Amino acid sequence: MLIYLNNHNYRYETENLCRAFFPNEKLEIINSDSYNEDILPYIFTYADKSSVKAGICSADGNLFIYDNTINENDDAELRLEQCLYRALCDYTGISQPWGILTGVRPIKLFRKLSDEKGADFAKQYFKEELFVSENKIKLAALTESHERKILNVSKDNSFSLYVSIPFCPTRCSYCSFVSQSIKQAKKLITPYLELLCDEITQTAKIVKKLNLKLESIYIGGGTPTTLEAHELTKLIGCIRKNFDLSACREFTVEAGRPDTITEEKLNAIINGGADRISINPQTMNDDVLKEIGRKHSAQQTVEAYNLARKVGFSHINTDVIAGLPTESFESFKSTIDALIDLSPESITVHTLSMKRSSYLTADGMRLYKKDAEICSDMVEYSINRLLESGYHPYYLYRQSKMLGNLENTGWCKPSKDCYYNVFIMDETHSIIACGAGAVTKLKAKNGVIERIFNFKYPYEYIDRYNEQIERKGRIEEFYEQYKM
């Protein structure tokens, strides 16, 4: 479908908004003031100093059009998006739960507005200017109130550490992560770990010199528990030996796939001092698990969970995904019910995102209105059930191409909020990252953010290790440059 930008450059938001309504269409942006009436339907947008106009010309030539005048203090881009949103709603018969908001961090915006003019203003702005639904405004306000408590603990010299283990037993069909299946990559693990420990050691020296304070640690992936118990001991031992953990509030290991979890590995993790673990069923329906390429059963999730309790973990998170292929509302409902019965400290409810490089997208799976409606019912069910079961939302983010343009929300029991998740999503302080695919995100006091990318794949990480360790030198320069 063609999208005309006439007399303006609001390309990014225009395209994102159109994509929310037409997730399966190929969209092409054209800067032009003349529209080709032979290629229908098309979307048009226009802005000048005093007015904006947007609409869609349907296949049978009908126009769905909105316009607005621009006053001196108006945000022309916002006014244009509002016109476009209204036209797209009329044309498709669909409204979006998050209105015209297409960004990753709606809670950050809600907080900014609350800080500037109060929570009531933020709610009103979300409703009247951004067209966010009542349910999502309530969710945003509640999440923000819990996030705020966590954010307040961070200081100017705080940072969190991320360590990447980019290996998995097999690749899930919805995943776009660069993780390597363990079968292909087994021989890489030993050299990878050697270099990773070196990177951790070198990074810790920089952090020490800068006198930074470690707030939280997250070992993620991939599936860190694809490592053997002795390898986990080595990795965690290396972190402990090199970083000062005396002020560290939380140490998470994302175990991930239940079929990789053993008592020996859990002991290695807990004895190393990690206090939070994530065991991710994604669904408790075996047929759906098979469909998405996960080689474990719901029973294995329960066994891994019970094992983690037996070993002594008092903070377990479980991840689920709403909208997985072949999952019905009833089956999702029983997944949520089963997890609440298990009573983990946190449950993270994701919405399926159709990532470009996933097998699902490659196989031609499409996002349809009916799937979006069912997914929305699933997410609403999870919200109501979790709230009445004593969980609260503590962080929330969105991705592109999510089913129903919904959201991912982390829920937890009182005082069990995950610091790391809040810090990374809010961009509160620097996240210093080690390992393949890891991205260090430096944050200055004035809000400037700079990224340092490690190589994506383990073999690249190994082959070009020296290059990326050199890049880490930028951490010191950054802190000097911004006088922190």
Q: Which is nearer to ligand SF4, 237 or 293 (CB)?
A: 293
As measured in angstroms, the least distance from the Cβ of 174 to ligand SF4 is 7
Torsion-angle region of residue 28: left (phi > 0), alpha (psi -120 to 50) or beta?
A: beta
User: Based on CB atoms, which residue is closest to ligand SF4, 76 or 279?
Assistant: 279
| Nearest residue to ligand SF4 on Cβ basis | 175
Nearer to ligand SF4, 168 or 422 (CB): 168
Spatial CB neighbours of 443, under 8 Å, sequence gap ≥ 6: 427, 428, 429, 430, 449
Instruction: Pick between residue 100 and residue 261 the one whose CB is nearest to ligand SF4.
Output: 261
- What is the DSSP code string of 347-394? EEEEE-B--TTSHHHHTT----HHHHHHHHHHHHHHHHHHHHTT-EEE
Q: Measure Cα distances from 45 to 32, 48, 173, 379 in Å.
A: 10, 11, 37, 33
Nearest CA among 258, 323, 249, 253 for reference residue 288: 323
Residue placing its CB nearer to ligand SF4 in the complex, 150 or 175? 175
> What end-to-end distance do the CA atoms of the chain give, in Å?
48
Identify whether the C-beta of residue 226 lies closer than 8 Å to the C-beta of residue 182. Answer: yes
User: How do strand 158-165 and strand 316-322 relate by DSSP bridges?
Assistant: unpaired
Min separation Cβ 224 and ligand SF4, Å: 10
Q: Distance (Å, rounded) from C-alpha 386 to C-alpha 388?
A: 5
Residues in touch with ligand SF4 (CB under 6 A): 168, 171-172, 175, 177, 179, 221-223, 256-257
Rounded distance, CA 172 to CA 358, Å?
Answer: 8
| Euclidean distance between CA atoms 129 and 77, whole angstroms | 12
Extract the tokens encoding 379.
């997410």
Distance of closest approach, residue 260 Cβ to ligand SF4, in angstroms:
9
CB of 125: closest distance to ligand SF4 in angstroms?
35
User: Which residue's CB is nearer to ligand SF4, number 177 or number 459?
Assistant: 177
* Least distance in angstroms from the C-beta of 433 to ligand SF4: 16
CB of 24 to ligand SF4, least distance (A): 23
Least separation in angstroms between residue 358's CB and ligand SF4 is 9
Closer CB to ligand SF4, 172 or 219, in the complex:
172
